[in-house]
């Protein structure tokens, strides 16, 4: 009596095997089997399982995975590079605002009204002296390294830029036409607003971030030369953008549309105010 012939491995037909995949039941040789929670599965089923497993998402809809921040160091490097450039042009670290680039990019509401449409954005990457730069970059690093993994890189960048423009819009609305405003503070305050929204959504104690916001707003009032309106505008827009992302966590298309509408509203405010400003 002859022994029954064993079937060939599904991936290697020339290899008879008495083993099979516990998921699909097809014959598989030892080389093609992998340990699984239950039994052993063929490599095809393992790959299929990896594709169909739903990855966890954060409160803002970003994929979990502990990815290292990328946007934060890029933004930091860009701000530092522009400071070095303006200092080199001015021939002074402390008076870098005298550089041609600084004068061309700083936010002046009257000049925006005259057609310099880029100033509300570019001013957010300039700083008056090294202390201004250091304080803003430390805040960006401290807040950003926590927020970027939660929001995701694209969402984080969107919140940052919307906050920056929100600060510029507030300056356009409430500051004199000949005022000069620069710095990443509006965007940084937007990150504070974003942190508050995330913490509240996770039902965590918000005392630390509230204290940070209050202290910085007081400093904005007490210390001369600081744009309080720019800080408040960035804070409100950062919170609004993050609240939108959190409320639409599982709807990426609506998140994108909401951010686009919010940005359009801010740009409309800037354009409308620019049309009404006269330089004095």
Beta bridge partners of 27: 20
What are the beta bridge partners of residue 34? 41
Burial class (CB in 10 A: 0-12, 13-18, 19+), 226: middle
- Is residue 109 helix, strand or coil? helix
Q: What is the CATH number of the domain that holds 88?
A: 1.20.1540.10
Q: Are 233 and 186 in contact (CB under 8 A)?
A: yes
What is this structure's pTM?
A: 0.79
Say if residue 214 is in the same domain as residue 242: yes
Considering the domain architecture, whether residues 168 and 223 belong to the same structural domain is answered as: yes
The verdict on 93 and 182 lying in the same domain is: yes
From the candidates 99, 168, 185, 227, which is the catalytic residue? Answer: 185
Same domain, 75 and 169: yes
Number of domains in the chain: 2
**So what's the pLDDT on residue 38?**
64
Q: 77 and 40, same structural domain?
A: no
For residue 268, give its domain range: 71-276
**Residue-level pLDDT at 1:** 43
Q: E-strand spans in 28-169? A: 33-35, 40-42
Strand partners, 40: 35
DSSP state of 97: G
* The pLDDT of residue 30: 87
Q: What is the pLDDT of residue 224?
A: 77
Residue 66 lies in a domain: no
pLDDT at 204: 85
Give the orientation angle of helix 228-247 with respect to helix 252-276, to 10 degrees: 160
Q: CA gyration radius for the chain?
A: 27
Which residue in 231, 247, 257, 278 is the catalytic one?
A: 231
* Domain match, 44 and 89 both: no
**Same domain (yes/no): 141, 269:** yes
Cα–Cα distances in Å, from 251 out to 61, 71, 211, 244, 258? 8, 23, 32, 11, 11
Q: Is 175 a catalytic residue?
A: no
Q: Where are the beta strands (DSSP E) in 7-145?
A: 33-35, 40-42
The residue ranges of DSSP E strands in the chain, in sequence order, are: 33-35, 40-42
Give, for all 280 residues of the chain, the pLDDT tens digit. Answer: 445 677 888 888 888 887 888 888 888 888 888 887 667 888 888 877 766 545 577 888 777 765 788 999 999 999 999 999 999 999 999 999 999 999 999 999 999 999 999 999 999 999 999 999 999 999 999 999 999 999 999 999 999 999 999 999 999 999 999 999 999 999 999 999 999 999 999 888 888 889 989 998 898 888 877 888 999 999 999 999 999 999 988 888 999 999 999 999 999 999 999 998 765 4
185 tagged catalytic: yes
Residue 62 domain-assigned?
A: no
Same domain, 115 and 156: yes
Q: Which helix or strand (DSSP H or E) is residue 192 part of?
A: helix 185-201
């Amino acid at each position: 009596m002859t022994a029954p012939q064993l079937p060939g491995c599904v991936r290697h037909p020339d290899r008879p095997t008495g083993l099979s995949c516990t998921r699909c039941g097809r014959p598989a040789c030892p080389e093609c089997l992998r340990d699984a929670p239950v039994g052993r599965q063929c490599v095809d089923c393992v790959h299929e399982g990896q594709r169909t497993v739903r990855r966890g998402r954060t409160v803002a809809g970003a994929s979990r995975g502990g990815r290292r921040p990328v946007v934060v160091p890029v933004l930091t490097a860009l701000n530092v590079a522009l400071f070095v450039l303006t200092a080199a042009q001015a021939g002074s670290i402390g008076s870098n605002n005298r550089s041609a680039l600084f004068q061309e990019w700083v936010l002046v509401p009257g000049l925006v009204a005259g057609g310099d449409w880029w100033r509300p954005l570019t001013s957010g990457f300039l700083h008056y002296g090294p202390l201004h730069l250091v304080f803003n970059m430390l805040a960006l690093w401290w807040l950003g390294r926590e927020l970027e993994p939660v929001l995701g890189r694209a969402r984080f960048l969107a919140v940052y830029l919307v906050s920056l423009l929100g600060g510029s819009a507030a300056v356009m609305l409430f500051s004199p036409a000949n005022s000069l405003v620069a710095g990443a503070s509006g965007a940084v305050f937007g990150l504070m607003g974003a942190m508050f929204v995330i913490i509240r959504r996770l039902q965590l104690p918000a005392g630390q971030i509230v204290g940070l916001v209050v202290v910085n707003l007081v400093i904005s009032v007490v210390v001369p030369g600081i744009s309080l309106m720019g800080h408040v505008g960035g804070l409100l827009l950062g919170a609004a953008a993050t609240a939108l992302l959190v409320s639409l966590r599982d709807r990426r298309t609506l998140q994108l549309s909401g951010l686009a509408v919010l940005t359009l509203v801010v740009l409309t405010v800037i354009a409308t105010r620019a049309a009404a400003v006269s330089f004095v």
